């Protein structure tokens, strides 16, 4: 565990004990960075804020040694049993993930603790993964890899070409827009649904509210799922919604596995609904070695690698530095999560 000390007087509206410390000049903002996500960036973060006290906690023992005094945390509250309860002074958590379905949202709300996520920093690699899945399916890459392993020179049974087809994107956040940018370059018409219909993008031809999901599914030759997982969106792709999709279409899921009912997906595959399916996420991860999805020749599965990037640590640190600067200056934080909505 590494600790860096300093002193900084802030003018937050705080509980009376802290307010007294501010008046007496004893207040020090204490920040705990948990886990390896931005370990390589720790020195850079400390250098940006020489008057803040930082603690780096690599493991569970480190976490509980210092968490009680931390006002700000990077990750950690969902890592260990009792983690949030032990963080008695906590007021803000910066998550390293884009989704918040595994965070203790109710307890955070009950204690009026702010939560910000890392939405946007994974947009480029996740969109690249979606594109890889599309091309693997469409150009027969899935067949080629199987044939290479078997030393078998054989063309795929069919090719799917994206030009002049329609791509439907469910949720036009940062990931959805990056997907739109890529498929638009292939000459696809791009439509989307989102809770925010005021989104404007040169890469999206038409945006409608989420209630128009049946319209999107019926119009699209390729459907990309890039939505957050919440109580409202769990199993949004089910028997009914799969039945709305075009025969011979492509289905690609890259955000959260819980958005898709796996058994319903298998039933749709059995009905020959799809040309192909690309999954970077599944309901239960890791996918069991004997799961029937592995053996489907028109299904491409990757192990939730979408967010992986050599730039991830730097992007996370950049976001945390900006938000920490905003927090210290009582400004609105980026990526503030609505704890009731779950995103």
Pair 135, 156: CB distance under 8 Å = no
Joined together, the tokens standing for residue 118 give 């890392």
- Residue 112 burial (CB < 10 Å; 0-12/13-18/19+)? exposed
Place of tokens 């480029």: 124
- Residue 93 burial (CB < 10 Å; 0-12/13-18/19+)? buried
Place of tokens 């890469």: 203
- Going by C-beta distance under 8 Å and a sequence separation of 6 or more, which residues neighbour residue 306? 122, 125, 126, 129, 130, 254, 280, 281
> β-strands 53-57, 2-4: how paired?
antiparallel
Per residue of the chain (343 residues), what is the pLDDT tens digit?
A: 555 443 222 223 333 344 444 444 578 999 999 999 999 999 999 999 999 999 999 999 999 999 999 999 999 999 999 999 999 999 999 999 999 999 999 999 999 999 999 999 999 999 999 999 999 999 999 999 999 999 999 999 999 999 999 999 999 999 999 999 999 999 999 999 999 999 999 999 999 999 999 999 999 999 999 999 999 999 999 999 999 999 999 999 999 999 999 999 999 999 999 999 999 999 999 999 999 999 999 999 999 999 999 999 999 999 999 999 999 999 999 999 999 999 9
Q: State residue 25's pLDDT score.
A: 56
Q: State residue 137's pLDDT score.
A: 97
Dist CA 177 CA 183 (whole Å): 10
- Going by C-beta distance under 8 Å and a sequence separation of 6 or more, which residues neighbour residue 27? 7, 8, 9, 10, 18, 21
Q: Which runs of consecutive H residues, i.e. helices, occur in the chain?
A: 16-23, 42-48, 60-66, 83-86, 105-110, 123-138, 141-149, 174-184, 213-219, 239-243, 262-270, 312-328
Dist CA 334 CA 323 (whole Å): 6
Dist CA 185 CA 49 (whole Å): 42
Q: State residue 26's pLDDT score.
A: 76
The per-residue pLDDT for range 53-101, each reduced to its tens digit, is 999 999 999 999 999 999 999 999 999 999 999 999 999 999 999 999 9
Residue by residue, DSSP assigns 135-149 as: HHHHTTHHHHHHHHH
Q: Which long-range contacts does 102-111 make (Cβ < 8 Å, 24+ apart)?
A: 102/78, 103/77, 103/78, 103/337, 104/77, 104/78, 105/337, 105/339, 105/342, 106/339, 108/77, 108/84, 108/339, 109/339, 109/340
Pair 206, 233: CB distance under 8 Å = no
DSSP state of 133: H
Comparing C-alpha atoms, which of 79, 125, 121 is closest to residue 98?
121
Q: Which domains does the chain have, with CATH numbers?
A: 2-121+310-328 (3.40.50.720), 123-301 (3.40.50.720)
Q: State residue 237's pLDDT score.
A: 98
CB atoms within 10 A of CB 22: 14
Paired with 115 in beta bridges are 93
Q: State residue 3's pLDDT score.
A: 52
DSSP state of 320: H
**Full 3-state SS string of 250-273:** EEEECCCHHHECHHHHHHHHHCCC
The per-residue pLDDT for range 225-271, each reduced to its tens digit, is 999 999 999 999 999 999 999 999 999 999 999 999 999 999 999 99
Joined together, the tokens standing for residue 154 give 């054989």
């Amino acid at each position: 565990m590494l600790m860096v000390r300093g002193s900084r007087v802030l003018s937050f509206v705080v509980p009376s004990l802290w307010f007294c410390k501010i008046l007496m000049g004893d207040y020090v903002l204490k920040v705990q960075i948990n886990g390896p996500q931005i370990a390589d960036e720790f020195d850079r973060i400390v250098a940006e804020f020489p008057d803040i006290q930082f603690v780096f906690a690599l493991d569970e023992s480190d976490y509980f040694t210092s968490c009680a005094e931390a006002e700000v945390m990077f990750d950690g509250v969902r890592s260990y049993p009792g983690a949030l309860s032990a963080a008695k002074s906590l007021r803000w958590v910066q998550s390293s993930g884009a989704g918040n379905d595994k965070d203790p949202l109710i307890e955070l709300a009950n204690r009026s603790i702010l939560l910000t996520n890392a939405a946007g920093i994974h947009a480029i690699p996740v969109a690249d993964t979606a594109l890889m899945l599309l091309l693997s399916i469409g150009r027969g890459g899935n067949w080629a890899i199987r044939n290479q392993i078997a030393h078998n020179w054989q063309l795929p049974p069919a090719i799917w070409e994206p030009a002049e087809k329609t791509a439907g994107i469910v949720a036009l956040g940062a990931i959805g827009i990056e997907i739109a940018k890529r498929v638009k370059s292939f000459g696809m018409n791009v439509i989307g649904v989102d809770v925010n219909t005021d989104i404007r993008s040169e890469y999206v031809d038409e945006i409608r509210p989420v209630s128009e999901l049946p319209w999107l599914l019926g119009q699209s030759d390729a459907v990309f799922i890039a939505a957050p997982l919440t109580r409202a969106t769990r199993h949004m792709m089910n028997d009914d919604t799969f039945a709305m999709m075009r025969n011979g279409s492509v289905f690609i899921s890259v955000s959260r596995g819980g958005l898709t009912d796996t058994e319903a997906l298998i039933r749709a595959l059995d009905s020959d609904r799809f040309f192909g399916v690309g999954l970077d996420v599944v309901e239960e991860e890791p996918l069991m070695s004997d799961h029937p999805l592995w053996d489907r020749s028109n299904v491409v599965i990757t192990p939730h690698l979408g967010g992986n990037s050599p730039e991830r640590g730097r992007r996370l640190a950049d976001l945390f530095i900006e938000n920490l600067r905003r927090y210290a200056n009582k400004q609105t934080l980026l990526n503030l999560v609505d704890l009731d909505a779950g995103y």
